[in-house]
Structure 1
Amino acid sequence: MSLHSEHIREIEAVSLGGISNRDETVVQSWLRCITQHKLDPAQSCEAYIVPDIQLREHRQQSEQLIAIARSGLENLFRHVAGQNYVLLLSDRQGVTVEFLGDPLFDNNLRKSGLYLGSEWSEERAGTCAVGSCLETGEALTIHQTDHFDNTHTPLTCTAAPIYDAQGELSAVLDISLLRSPQIKASQNLALHLVTATARRIELANLMAQTRNEWVLRFSRSPEFLDVDPEAAVSIDGRGRIIGVTHDGAKILARASGLDWRQPDSLIGQPVSRFFDMDVDDLGDLTRTRPSEDRLVFARDGNILFAHAIEPNYRYRGPQAIPEKIPASLRRLSGGDPQLAALQAKAAKLADKSLPILIQGETGTGKEYLARAIHDSGGAKGRFIAVNCAAMPEQLIESELFGYVPGSFTGALAKGRKGLIEEADDGTLFLDEIGDMPLGLQSRLLRALAEREVLPLGASRPKPVNIRVLSASHRNLAELVAQGRFREDLFYRLNAATLSLPALRDRSDFEWLLDEVLKKCKSSAGISPKLGAEARLLLKRYTWPGNVRELFNVLDVASALCENGVIEPVDLPDHFHRPAFKPLSNSTLSSGDGLSLRLTEALASSGGNISAAARLLGVDRSTVHRQLRRLRQKPAH
Structure 2
Amino acid sequence: MAAAMEHIREVENVALGRASKRDPWVVQSWLRCINEHRLDPTRACEAFILSETELRFHRQQSEELISIARSGLEGLYTQMAGQNYVLLLGDSAGVAVEFLGDPNFDHRLRKAGLYLGAEWSEPRAGTCAIGACIATGEALTIHQTDHFDVTHTPLSCTAAPIYDTRGEFAAVLDISLLSSPIAKASQNLALHMVAATVRRIELANLMAQTRHEWVLRFSRSPDFLDVDPEAGVSLDGSGRVIGMTHRGAQILARAAGVSWRRPELLIGQPLGRFFELGVDDLGELTRQRPTHDRTVVARDGNRLFAHAIEPQLRRTRRAPAPAPVARGALARLGAGDRQIAALQAKAAKLAPTALPILIQGETGTGKEFLARALHEASGRRGPFVAINCAAIPEALIEAELFGHAPGAFTGAAPGGRKGLVEEAAGGTLFLDEIGDMPLALQARLLRVLAEGEVTPIGALRPRRVDLRVISATHRDLPAQVRAGTLREDLYYRLSAATFVLPPLREREDFDWLTQRLLDGRARLSPSASASLRARDWLGNLRELGNALAVAVALCEGGVIERADLPPEPGQTPAFDGEAEALRAVLARCGGNVSEAARQMHVDRTTVHRRMRRLGVAAH
Give the structure-2-normalised TM-score: 0.52
State the partner residue of 2:321: 320
Correspondence for 2:4: 4
Deviations 1:84-137 (A, max 9, x none): 000000000000000000000000000000000000001100000000000000
Q: Quick check: 1:88–1:174 contact (8 Å CA) kept in 2?
A: yes
- Partner letter of residue 251 of structure 2? I
How far apart are the structure 1 equivalents of 2:343 and 2:65? 17
* Counterparts of residues 52-63 of structure 1 (less than 5 Å): 52-63=52-63
Distance (Å, rounded) in 2 between the aligned partners of 1:136 and 1:167: 14
What whole-Å deviation, never above 9, does each CA across 1:493-540 have from its counterpart, x for those lacking one?
xxx9xxxxxxxxxxxxxxxxxxxxxxxxxxxxxxxxxxxxxxxxxxxx
Contact 2:324 2:345 in 1 (8 A): no
- For 1:286 and 1:347, locate their aligned partners in 2 and report how far apart those are by CA, in whole Å: 42
Alpha-carbon distance in structure 2 between the residues aligned to 1:144 and 1:346? 52
Distance (whole Å) between structure 2 residues aligned to residue 96 and residue 85 of structure 1:
15
Q: Distance in 2 between matches of 1:169 and 1:346?
A: 39
Matched residue type, 2:167:
G
Matches within 5 A, 1:79-478: 79-313=79-313, 319-322=320-323, 324=325
Whether the 8 Å contact between 2:48 and 2:118 is mirrored in structure 1 is: yes
Structure 1 residue identity aligned to 2:170: S
Asked whether the 8 Å contact 2:139–2:159 carries over to 1, the reply is yes
- Superposed CA RMSD: 1.9
Q: Report what 2:365 is aligned to.
A: none
Q: Given the superposition, is the C-alpha separation of residues 49 and 239 from structure 1 closer, same or farther in structure 2, using an over 3 Å criterion?
A: same
| Structure 2 Cα separation of the partners of residues 266 and 346 of structure 1 | 46
Question: Residue by residue, what CA displacement relative to the aligned partner does 1:215-263 show, whole Å, maximum 9, x if unpaired?
Answer: 0000000000000000000001011000000000000000001111010
- C-alpha distance in 2, partners of 1:247/1:311? 21
SS at match of 1:48: coil
Name the SS of the counterpart of 1:313 in structure 2. coil
Q: Is the 8 A contact 2:163 2:202 kept in 1?
A: yes
CA deviations on 1:546-594 (whole Å, 9 max, x unpaired) are xxxxxxxxxxxxxxxxxxxxxxxxxxxxxxxxxxxxxxxxxxxxxxxxx
Pick closer, same or farther for the CA change 1:58–1:31 going to 2, 3 Å.
same
Equivalent position amino acid for 2:281 in 1: D
Task: Report the Cα distance in structure 2 between the residues aligned to 1:318 and 1:102, rounded to whole angstroms.
Answer: 48
Q: 1:345: how far off?
A: 11
User: Which amino acid letter does the alignment assign opposite residue 15 of structure 2?
Assistant: S
One-letter identity of the residue aligned with 2:117? G
Change beyond 3 A, Cα 1:65–1:288:
same
* C-alpha deviation, 1:30, in angstroms: 0.1
CA distance in 2, matches of 1:198, 1:266: 21
* Higher Cα Rg, which structure: 2
Give the count of matched residue pairs.
Answer: 332
C-alpha deviation, 1:321, in angstroms: 3.5
Aligned residue type for 1:18: R
Residues 212 and 315, structure 1, Cα contact 8 Å, conserved in 2: no
Task: Give the AA of the match of 1:139.
Answer: A
CA distance in 1, matches of 2:179, 2:172: 21
Instruction: Report what 1:41 is aligned to.
Output: 41
CA–CA separation in structure 2 for the residues paired with 1:306 and 1:133: 29
Cα deviation, residue 313, structure 1? 1.2
> Any idea what the Cα deviations from partners look like across 1:269-293, whole Å, max 9, x if unmatched?
0001101111111000000000000
Tell me which residue corresponds to 2:356. Answer: none
State the 1:315 CA deviation.
6.6
- Whether contact under 8 Å (2:225, 2:306) holds in the other structure is yes
Q: Give the C-alpha shift of residue 45 in structure 1.
A: 1.4
Distance 1:269 1:108, change over 3 A: same
1-structure distance, mates of 2:157, 2:322: 45
| Structure 1 residue ranges (4+ consecutive) displaced by more than 3 angstroms after TM superposition | 314-319, 344-349
User: Aligned partners of 1:174, 1:89: CA distance in 2, in Å?
Assistant: 6
Structure 2 vs 1, CA of residues 230 and 346 (structure 1 numbering), >3 Å: closer, same or farther? farther
Counterparts of 1:197 and 1:323, CA distance in 2: 36
Alpha-carbon displacement from aligned partner over 1:279-329 (angstroms, at most 9, x marks no partner): 11100000000000001110111110000000011676665131559xxxx
Distance 1:347 1:136 in 2: 46
TM-score (norm 1): 0.51
Question: How many angstroms apart in 2 are the aligned matches of 1:345 and 1:81?
Answer: 40
Structure 2 unmatched ranges of 5 or more: 327-341, 348-496, 498-619
